[in-house]
Structure 1
Amino acid sequence: MAPFLLLLFLLSKAASDNTDVTVHPGDDVTLKCQAAGPSITVLKWIKPDLEPEYVLFYRSNTMQTDYQNKDFKGRVELVDRDLKDGDVSLILKNVSSIHAGTYECRVKDGVSRRKKRAADLSILRTIRTIRLQVTEPDSEDGNSSPVGRYRGLAAGVLILVAAAVVGVLMYKRHKNKRSGPSADDDDADEASAIQVI
């Protein structure tokens, strides 16, 4: 039982570090990320499916735009440029469909005072993964909610199940009619014929 509870705890912890965010084209969105402390020396927001993968690269208290993917130049900024209280949240402006996908927030804190080298960047910890969905608004009410899509899917499944039940019942009824009348039915027919005479 204890291993099961441990596994359940670890899975719930992993799920809490992953977030789904849905926005519409043209919206601004804040991808929230909170580091453990305020002593952040390196911050990377990446989109692993890009080349280069950098959405935002922050080191030595400055943005490093030379490494940034062209699709994000001029579109991103930090909620707090000073990274006070470990807030490393990212604002993505004027979102379009090309921005949909998975984002990772990675940090390195300033516990170590030694010189930072390029090899040290591999020590960054991923502290948040966000899946960004960019959807067109529904024409009826102006919003495209995942809940609404799931309701539609559930209604479709319910209709299919009801159709299957009706089909099975009709098949059984038809099968019973084809097998012919039973002996009890013959006796009932004979009794009704005698009453008519």
Structure 2
Amino acid sequence: MGFPGSVLVGVLVGFYVSGSSDADLKITAEPGDDVTLTCKAPENMKMKSLEWTRVDLEEGEYVFVYRNRGINLDDQHESFRNRVFLNNSQMKDGDLSVVLKNVTVNDTGTYTCSVMRENDPDREMILIGSVHLSVIPPGDKDGVSHGNLGLIPLSGLLLLTIFLLLVS
């Protein structure tokens, strides 16, 4: 009888571990808020291009693209049109942050900031950082949305399962 309980504990631990995000920064906002997705280039890095994307977008679709000394709107995903702007239009002091205006629940996700160095013979995009944005409607007090399991309920369930296994 110990085997099924072990599997259950393993499954629960798997949910607990997979529920965490590798994002560098986590931001929580409400629909309608303006949010700054922060990114800072390494000191003295000369950049040829900047790409902000969300991990669930198709390849070639971007949240924001800066190439050849200008903003490229052609590759911007339609849901971000007229809503994403550089926080600092000159990108002074390596500030590659963008402002996402009027966020909606559909904007929830992990965003990545990548750059291509000037004169890079490999023309590789280098990941600088990531931001996980959660847009939670007002009144959603526990912060659990979109079917995600919360830390407290899951850990309590895990402890209850272990207790039941020990008692039986």
TM-score range, shorter chain: 0.5 to 0.7
Aligned twin of 1:25: 31
If the length of structure 1 is used for normalisation, what is the TM-score?
A: 0.59
**Post-superposition shift, 1:154?**
6.4
| Distance in 2 of aligned mates of 1:48 and 1:145 | 21
Aligned-partner SS, 1:66: coil
1:124 aligned onto 2:125: yes
**Contact 1:135-1:144 within 8 A present in 2 as well:** no
Relative to its length, the structure with more helix (as a share) is: 1
| Distance in 1 of aligned mates of 2:139 and 2:106 | 19
**Post-superposition shift, 1:113?**
7.7
Q: Deviations over 1:103-159 (max 9, x none)?
A: 11001222x287xxxx83xx01011122211111227xxx6657xx6566667778x
**Post-superposition shift, 1:84?**
1.0
**Contact 1:25-1:97 within 8 A present in 2 as well:** yes
Q: In angstroms, what is the RMSD of aligned CA positions?
A: 3.2
Aligned twin of 1:8: none
Aligned twin of 2:55: 48
Letter in 2 for 1:41: K
Aligned-partner SS, 1:26: coil
If the length of structure 2 is used for normalisation, what is the TM-score?
A: 0.68
**Post-superposition shift, 1:50?**
1.4
Larger RCO (CA under 8 A, 6+ residues apart): 2
Structure exhibiting the larger radius of gyration computed from Cα positions: 1
**Contact 2:26-2:132 within 8 A present in 1 as well:** yes
**Contact 2:23-2:132 within 8 A present in 1 as well:** no
Query: Which structure 1 residue ranges, 5 or more long, are not aligned?
Result: 1-14, 172-197
Aligned-partner SS, 1:21: strand
Query: Which structure 2 residue ranges, 5 or more long, are not aligned?
Result: 1-20, 145-149
Aligned-partner SS, 1:67: coil
**Post-superposition shift, 1:47?**
1.4
Deviates more, 1:51-60 or 1:27-36: 51-60
Aligned twin of 1:63: 71
1:98 aligned onto 2:106: yes
